[in-house]
Structure 1
Amino acid sequence: MGIEIVILAVLVAAAAGFFVGNLLRKKMSDSSVSRAEEQATKIIDDARREAETVLKEASLQAKDVVYQAKAEFERDTKDKRRDLQALEKRLQQKEENLDKKMALYDQRDADFVKREQTLLNREQSLSQKEEKIGQLIDEQLRKLETISGMSSAEAKKVLMEAMESEAKLDAAKRIKLIEEEARETADKKSKEIMALAIQRYAGEYVAERTVSVVALPSDEMKGRIIGREGRNIRALEAATGIDLIIDDTPEAVILSGFNPIRREVAKLSLEKLIADGRIHPGRIEEVVAKAEEEVELAIKEAGEQAAFDLGVHGIHPEILKLIGRLRYRTSYSQNVYLHSLEVAFLCGIMAAELGINVKQAKRAGLLHDLGKAVDHEVEGSHAVIGAELARKYGESPKIVHAIMAHHEDEKPSTVLAVLVQAADALSGARPGARREMMETYVKRLEDLERIATSFAGVSNSFAIQAGREIRVMVSSEQVTDDQAVLLAKDIAKKVEAEMTYPGQIKVNVIRETRAVDYAR
């Protein structure tokens, strides 16, 4: 393209020179023709030289362009060739890997075929052996049945009985071993905690009785209490709801009624009337009203004092009143108010030893007999009644459960419930805390001995320690050492199911072998 431009420029320059020369020749004279020719020649030479220069430059540029294009083409070709060689190498490697994998798969396939064939052969062999073994077992069973004179079902029954007996013995040994290991730690620790609780709470306790007897200064006062035609005694009974029994007992009046609060009101009222000396229906109503206010105030103060002594706060005022009412309630001659305080202190001490919430434990101990404040007015177990009252007045579910479970009305499922059970048993079962009727006590001991002797192998039984322990003597020929462990558990379960008793009863099974001879 550059060469063509140069040639065209030369031709144009030549044509221009020729045209100019002709003009000059025509217009100038002969003298100027030579000069014009010289100029034209010069112009033509200059144009030729310029054309050659341009031609050379264009040729050089063309060569340079061609060289650069050739170099770039060779470079691109070299890069593509290198990429193609690398790709070819990778494809070759992949092909080799695929060939190796295919060879490996072919080898594995051949191995699997061989193994499958081997397994089929073994399966056929095992089937034949199994069939042969089955025939041999049937043959041996027939021979054994012929020798022993028992069928296979009978033999299985005998074997099962023997295995069951052996399993029971093994279980008894295992139970005995576990109990011994657990007793070394748990029993020791629990005794230490309870002993520490009892020692730290060593509070004096007097079994208060709700005495329904009012002393009189003289027997003449009986007539004034009765009044003309019995109007005074009728007014007093109507105002208090308590029956007054005036008999031959010297200088005493008996108050009869199942409600301890009313009985306390009647007692205070009668004492005030006797001290004042003015006894008539109008005065009786006035004194009874004042006595009721005094008793209500004393109940409220007693509940608040109990909460203050224990450091338990936030108890509903109605619950505090119910706690105060326990001051006039007894159980087996034990004052329930003092019993509740004692249980609360014991719970707090044991909770501190176990590292649980002390205030919560004291709260549960204080409220555990809450239902006894109203159990003469509401049907049901005092534990259930107390739990319902606690739930009604906003106590937490843990406290409600502890109250419900302290007499097994609900299975204890928390440490707190177990603590309340233990503290309640400690407070009620220690010597002097409670008294029970002689007939009930004797009946309990008789039932305890009767349950123990109802088991096979028991030769004799003795209830000792005021019914806290039952010693069971067994025949050494009928009961083994391991069976004695199971027998003690069975007796304990039957006692729990059939009897009601405070605290716990220890079942002690004794098995001994005696050899007796005489020297003559």
Structure 2
Amino acid sequence: MESIMVIVVGVVALAIGIILGKLIFAKNTHIKIQEAEEKANRIVEEGKLTAENIKKDKLLEAKEKYLQMKSEHEKEVMQRNQKISESENRIKQKEQSLNQKNEQMQKQVTENEAIKENLARQIELVNIKRSELEKHQEEHIRRLEKVAGLTAEEARNQLVESLKEEARTQALSHIQEIIEDAKTKANKEAKKIIIQSIQRTAAEQTIENAITVFNLESDEIKGQIIGREGRNIRAIEAATGVDLIVDDTPEAIVLSSFDPLRREIARLSLQRLVQDGRIHPARIEEVVEKTKRQLEEQVMEIGERTVIELGVHGLHKELVRMVGKMRFRSSYGQNLLMHSKETANLCAVMAAELGLNPKLAKRAGLLHDIGKVPDEESELSHALLGAKLAEKYGEHPAIVNAIGAHHDEMEMSYVISPIVQACDAISGARPGARREIMQSYLQRIKDLENLAMGYDGVEKAYAIQAGRELRVIVESEKVTDNDADRLSFEIANKIQNDMQYPGQIKVTVIRERRAVNVAR
């Protein structure tokens, strides 16, 4: 019984505990709900306050922006009104000026009408006077015919003949100018192209000599170079093919050869031998061979540098080497490489002006004289040999033809051939390019004087200023002043047609008359 009571009490206590726990949990939950509601209410109140503040700020910003836009609009309206008022003022001023001009025009019209009336009256007076003058002129002519015994037609014919003779003499002084003007107009485009080509291509004035002077530190080295019984100098001459001239010139030895490449080998070899101090035949041969190999490398380097400088690509190595060899060759005193580079640049400019391929023309201009630097001697001329070499190393047929035809030894088949020929002549004929042989120079001076002496009345003729001026002294009894003008013109034409000369030649005819009397 007691155990049952204990169980019942325990169950009741447990039930009571459960009920109390539920009551406590319910109370706590209710408290949390109240707190959450309070917090939510506070958040809502704060949100309302924030929204009110934001609303006030936005309203203030909107008002400020409205006021700003209003002020800008008012300012713009004021500016427009100001422009409108200025335009109205300008229009009013124009209206005033137009009114003034209209008034002036009306005044001018009235004045012009008065002037027209005055002119009409004057014309009538002029016509009356003209008729009177014509009558007087007819009467004057009749009187002159009676006095002179000639009719007006006969007098007119005599006057025309005298005027014709006078016109002939005066026209001679102008004929040359007319001819030159006609030539200038006829060849305007050609001269323009040539002049532009020459002006755009700069060239040096180069003169090559047949000797090279090798400077020494002292004259004692001359004995070492000569050697015992001259064996060293003979070995140098045999190895290089250059003549060594050892004379009394202090501290200098002259290397003489028409081959600049050999002279350069001899100069470099001597320089190394003198620096080394060991000068004997075996050493000389060794140094010369070494110098030749190094100079071959230098020749190749010069050729490569030249083709790169000119922009010529794809050239065969042998042709590049020949281009480098041109540096050590000369033609009439003109360095061959400088001449070829100048010709190449002229060809490129001229071809571009004519609308042709400038690269092809430049290539042909560079290679046009490769026949002057062959590895082996040939019986062919340098133009034909150069064409053969260019064809051998796969150059374009136009280039081959231009090389072979630049001295008219081959028929020209391509357009660039005459361009190469013309540019070659321009490069060789410019002042300072080549050294003229003394014999041909003297012959040209003599021919120039003899040409002038072939005319009647010429007493003496002198070529001065290196043949660039011809002074002709005539006999005053045989040649008049008018004849002197004609003679100057004829001699200039004769020189231009019959002679070849650089630049231009000025012809001056001198006529002097002296009256001499002796007082006794």
Q: Which residue of 2 aligns with 1:407?
A: 407
Residues 479-494 of structure 1 correspond to what in structure 2 (within 5 A)? 494=498
Q: Which amino acid in structure 1 is aligned with residue 499 of structure 2?
A: V
Q: Which residue of 1 aligns with 2:499?
A: 495
Q: Which residue of 2 aligns with 1:96?
A: none
Contact 2:312 2:363 (8 Å CA) reproduced:
yes
Contact 1:210 1:328 (8 Å CA) reproduced:
no
Residues 306-325 of structure 1 correspond to what in structure 2 (within 5 A)? 306-325=306-325
Q: CA deviation at 1:271?
A: 0.9
Q: CA deviation at 1:466?
A: 4.4
Residues 153-172 of structure 1 correspond to what in structure 2 (within 5 A)? none
Q: Which amino acid in structure 1 is aligned with residue 351 of structure 2?
A: A
Q: State how far apart, in whole Å, the 1-side matches of 2:244 and 2:512 are.
A: 68
Q: Which residue of 1 aligns with 2:446?
A: 446
Q: State how far apart, in whole Å, the 2-side matches of 1:375 and 1:473 are.
A: 56
Q: CA deviation at 1:209?
A: 4.2
CA deviation string 1:298-332 (max 9, x = no partner): 11111122211111122222222222111111233
Q: State how far apart, in whole Å, the 2-side matches of 1:351 and 1:421 are.
A: 13
Contact 1:451 1:495 (8 Å CA) reproduced:
no
Q: State how far apart, in whole Å, the 2-side matches of 1:398 and 1:465 are.
A: 43
Q: Which amino acid in structure 2 is aligned with residue 245 of structure 1?
A: I
Q: Which amino acid in structure 2 is aligned with residue 495 of structure 1?
A: M
Q: State how far apart, in whole Å, the 1-side matches of 2:343 and 2:367 are.
A: 9
Contact 2:383 2:405 (8 Å CA) reproduced:
yes
Q: State how far apart, in whole Å, the 1-side matches of 2:389 and 2:468 are.
A: 33
CA deviation string 1:139-198 (max 9, x = no partner): xxxxxxxxxxxxxxxxxxxxxxxxxxxxxxxxxxxx999977862434332332233223
Contact 1:209 1:335 (8 Å CA) reproduced:
no
Structure 1 pair 409/486, CA: closer, same or farther in 2 (3 Å)? farther
Residues 454-469 of structure 1 correspond to what in structure 2 (within 5 A)? 466-467=466-467
Q: Which residue of 1 aligns with 2:269?
A: 269
CA deviation string 1:23-74 (max 9, x = no partner): xxxxxxxxxxxxxxxxxxxxxxxxxxxxxxxxxxxxxxxxxxxxxxxxxxxx
Contact 2:301 2:324 (8 Å CA) reproduced:
yes
Contact 2:235 2:281 (8 Å CA) reproduced:
yes
Q: State how far apart, in whole Å, the 1-side matches of 2:456 and 2:399 are.
A: 44
Q: State how far apart, in whole Å, the 2-side matches of 1:243 and 1:515 are.
A: 58
Contact 2:206 2:333 (8 Å CA) reproduced:
no
Q: Which amino acid in structure 2 is aligned with residue 396 of structure 1?
A: H
Q: Which residue of 2 aligns with 1:237?
A: 237
Q: Which residue of 2 aligns with 1:140?
A: none
Residues 251-400 of structure 1 correspond to what in structure 2 (within 5 A)? 251-374=251-374, 377-379=377-379, 381-400=381-400
Q: State how far apart, in whole Å, the 2-side matches of 1:458 and 1:375 are.
A: 56
Contact 1:375 1:382 (8 Å CA) reproduced:
no
CA deviation string 1:212-268 (max 9, x = no partner): 221111111011111122222222222222222222221111222333222211111
Matched, 1:200 2:200: yes
CA RMSD of aligned residues (A): 4.1
Contact 1:256 1:263 (8 Å CA) reproduced:
yes
Which secondary structure state, in structure 2, belongs to the residue aligned with residue 407 of structure 1?
coil
Query: Greater shift after overlay, 481-490 or 434-443?
Result: 481-490
Contact 2:213 2:255 (8 Å CA) reproduced:
yes
Q: CA deviation at 1:357?
A: 0.9
Contact 1:469 1:505 (8 Å CA) reproduced:
no
Q: State how far apart, in whole Å, the 2-side matches of 1:462 and 1:410 are.
A: 41
Which secondary structure state, in structure 1, belongs to the residue aligned with residue 244 of structure 2?
strand
Q: State how far apart, in whole Å, the 1-side matches of 2:310 and 2:280 are.
A: 44
Q: State how far apart, in whole Å, the 1-side matches of 2:482 and 2:452 are.
A: 16
Q: State how far apart, in whole Å, the 2-side matches of 1:516 and 1:302 are.
A: 65
Which secondary structure state, in structure 1, belongs to the residue aligned with residue 255 of structure 2?
strand
Structure 1 pair 400/451, CA: closer, same or farther in 2 (3 Å)? farther
Q: State how far apart, in whole Å, the 1-side matches of 2:448 and 2:205 are.
A: 29
Which secondary structure state, in structure 2, belongs to the residue aligned with residue 250 of structure 1?
coil
Structure 1 pair 249/399, CA: closer, same or farther in 2 (3 Å)? same
Q: State how far apart, in whole Å, the 1-side matches of 2:452 and 2:415 are.
A: 32
Contact 1:209 1:334 (8 Å CA) reproduced:
no
Query: Greater shift after overlay, 382-391 or 340-349?
Result: 382-391
Contact 1:471 1:507 (8 Å CA) reproduced:
no
Contact 2:452 2:491 (8 Å CA) reproduced:
no
Q: State how far apart, in whole Å, the 1-side matches of 2:281 and 2:512 are.
A: 83
Q: Which residue of 2 aligns with 1:223?
A: 223
Q: Percent identity at matched positions? A: 53
Q: State how far apart, in whole Å, the 1-side matches of 2:242 and 2:206 are.
A: 26
Q: Which amino acid in structure 2 is aligned with residue 296 of structure 1?
A: E
Contact 2:383 2:407 (8 Å CA) reproduced:
yes
Q: Which amino acid in structure 1 is aligned with residue 447 of structure 2?
A: D
Structure 1 pair 345/392, CA: closer, same or farther in 2 (3 Å)? same
Output the TM-score relative to the length of structure 2.
0.54
Q: Which amino acid in structure 2 is aligned with residue 440 of structure 1?
A: S
Which secondary structure state, in structure 2, belongs to the residue aligned with residue 247 of structure 1?
coil
Q: State how far apart, in whole Å, the 2-side matches of 1:434 and 1:195 are.
A: 20
Q: State how far apart, in whole Å, the 2-side matches of 1:374 and 1:407 are.
A: 18
Structure 1 pair 190/466, CA: closer, same or farther in 2 (3 Å)? farther
Contact 2:210 2:256 (8 Å CA) reproduced:
no
Structure 1 pair 177/264, CA: closer, same or farther in 2 (3 Å)? closer
Q: Which amino acid in structure 2 is aligned with residue 357 of structure 1?
A: N
Q: CA deviation at 1:458?
A: 8.6
Q: CA deviation at 1:516?
A: 9.1
Q: Which amino acid in structure 2 is aligned with residue 237 of structure 1?
A: E
Structure 1 pair 178/391, CA: closer, same or farther in 2 (3 Å)? farther
Q: State how far apart, in whole Å, the 2-side matches of 1:355 and 1:469 are.
A: 39
Contact 1:387 1:401 (8 Å CA) reproduced:
yes
Gaps of 5+ in 2: 1-174, 516-520
CA deviation string 1:58-110 (max 9, x = no partner): xxxxxxxxxxxxxxxxxxxxxxxxxxxxxxxxxxxxxxxxxxxxxxxxxxxxx
Give the paired residue count. 337
Q: State how far apart, in whole Å, the 1-side matches of 2:221 and 2:494 are.
A: 62
Structure 1 pair 511/209, CA: closer, same or farther in 2 (3 Å)? closer
Q: Which amino acid in structure 2 is aligned with residue 360 of structure 1?
A: L
Gaps of 5+ in 1: 1-174
